[in-house]
Structure formats: structure tokens, C-alpha cells
Amino acid sequence: MLTIKNHIKIDVRGIEKSFTLHNRGGANVSGFSEVSFSVKRGELLALTGPSGAGKSSVLKAIYRTYPLNSGQILFHRRDNVTVNLAKCSESEVLRLRKREISFVTQFLKILPRITALQAVALPLIESGVDELQALDRAAELLDFLGIREELFHISPLTFSGGEQQRVNIARGVIAPKSLILLDEPTASLDGESAEKILTLLTDLKEKGIAMVAIFHDKKKIKSVADKTYEIMRKESMLLSPVMGEVGR
């Protein structure tokens, strides 16, 4: 485990993002400013801060949904090649999303005809695992997360919000990529379900997966995060970063 954690997976250096409000005469508003942190293999960094501070925007910048105004996001691929996600080509971004970087949001987005079991098994099948084995693993994961067996063959779009979130997280971790971005993975979940999610994230760390996750609950952060990065929103819309180890 110590060997795994000696390798930086992502190095975020001074990134900034602003948004132009065209419906307000082109006003320019800061999304976040001067955000810097690094995450090693087998580490989970918790992004914290008040609502509206830009935490989700930072994740979207890493995933390249949002282009940056400035800064670098250095991602170290499995082949030991370093790529600047802020500047690399769209084709490289798509390749990395397919093979090495995943983004688990709070919201489930699948086709209506797909069952819960199929939705969770699909990433494993796409990685080359036999379909029957993938379906068995998906069933185990859904069962662990408290999804009743009678729901396996129903579209999860008919599920409650908490059940949909658990299905979505199962999809995101069943075939884990080397960097996983998670937007409030325990939000809207009851205590037991949240603990199971934290157990899954701990298991992923032990496998060398690097993660950046948004959390609000300090107890959850202490139980799973290796370090935190707090983004503070000022009245000027500029953000003040504070980085430190959990518990400080």
C-alpha cells in the first residue's frame, strides 16, 4: 500500500474558471480561483466548502466538461505518460474518459428500457468481462447496497432518489477506472446506505484507485478521506483554498 501511494495520479495547479452571464449583459462571474491540490494512487481527497463555492465546477473542470481560464491539470496515465487535461485534444479526453477517468454524479442517466441489473453490469461488460459474470457481480453489488432483488429487472428510473443514487454509484465502481470523481456520493442516503458507500470507497483505495469526492459531513470525511481541500466562497466570488490533512 505504501508503494501505491508514492505515485501522484493527478496534480491540479492553480486552476481558475469564470462564467459569462449572457442574460445579464455579459457579466463575468468567478466559478473558482487558484485551486491547487494533488492526489496519489490509493488516496481520496475530499472537496469541502459551502454551497455555490465551486466544488462541482472543479470536478467538471477535471473531467473537461468545463474549459479552464488558466492553470494546469496534470494527469498521469497508466502508461506513465503525463497529460495536461486543460490543454490536451478532445480525442485524448474522450479516450481517457473511456479508459481511465470516470465521473459519478448524483443523478442517474440511462435509457428507460435498461434494467437496474443491466445498467450496473454494462461497464464491466464493456471492459471485457463475460456477460454472465458481469451480471452476477452486478447482482452482488446491488444486493450489498440494499437494492431488493425484485427490483433488479426493473428500470431504475422508476426507483426512489436514494435507490437511483445507489444504482448510479454501483455503475461507477463496478469496473473502477484509475481516477474517480464523485459528486456528493452519500447525499440523500440513509445512514446504513451511506456507510456501505464509504466501505466501497475504502475498498477502492486499497486497490490503488485515486478519488476526488465532494463531501459535507465531517464524520464521513474523517472515515474515508486521506486529506481535504476546502473551497471558500467570498462575496467577490473569488475562492480561497485551504489545504490540510483530515483532522487538522
DSSP letters, 115-169, are -HHHHHHHHHHHTT--HHHHHHHHHHHHHHTT--GGGTTS-GGGS-HHHHHHHHH
> Residues 177-216, buried b or exposed e (16+ Cβ, 10 A)?
bbbbbbbbbbeebeeebbebbbebbeebbeebbbbbbbbe
In a domain, 42, yes or no: yes
Q: Which domain holds residue 59?
A: 1-100+180-187+213-248
Residue 200, in any domain of the structure: no
CATH of the domain at 233: 3.40.50.300
Helix (H) or strand (E) holding 93: helix 90-99
pLDDT band at 1 (very low <50, low <70, confident <90, very high): very low
End-to-end CA distance of the chain: 23
- Looking at residue 22, its pLDDT comes to 64
Does residue 244 carry a pLDDT above 70?
A: no
Task: For residues 203 and 226, give the distance between their C-alpha atoms in angstroms, rounded to a whole number.
Answer: 14
Task: Classify residue 219: in a domain, yes or no.
Answer: yes
In a domain, 2, yes or no: yes
Q: Mind listing the pLDDT tens digit for each residue in 153-178? A: 999 999 998 899 999 999 999 999 99
Q: What is the mean pLDDT of the chain?
A: 88
> For the residues 126-155, what does the mean pLDDT come to?
96
Alpha-carbon distance of 86 to 74, in angstroms, equals: 8
- The verdict on residue 245 lying in a domain is yes
User: What is the predicted pLDDT for the residue at 23?
Assistant: 65
Task: Locate the DSSP E strands across 41-100.
Answer: 44-48, 70-76, 82-84
Pick the range with the lowest mean pLDDT from 21-35, 62-76, 120-134, 199-213: 21-35
**227 occurs within a structural domain:** yes
* Count: domains in the chain: 1
Residue for grid cell 471558500:
232
- On whether residue 37 sits in a domain, the answer given is yes
> Considering the domain boundaries, does residue 19 fall inside one?
yes
Per the DSSP assignment, residues forming a β-bridge with 50 are none
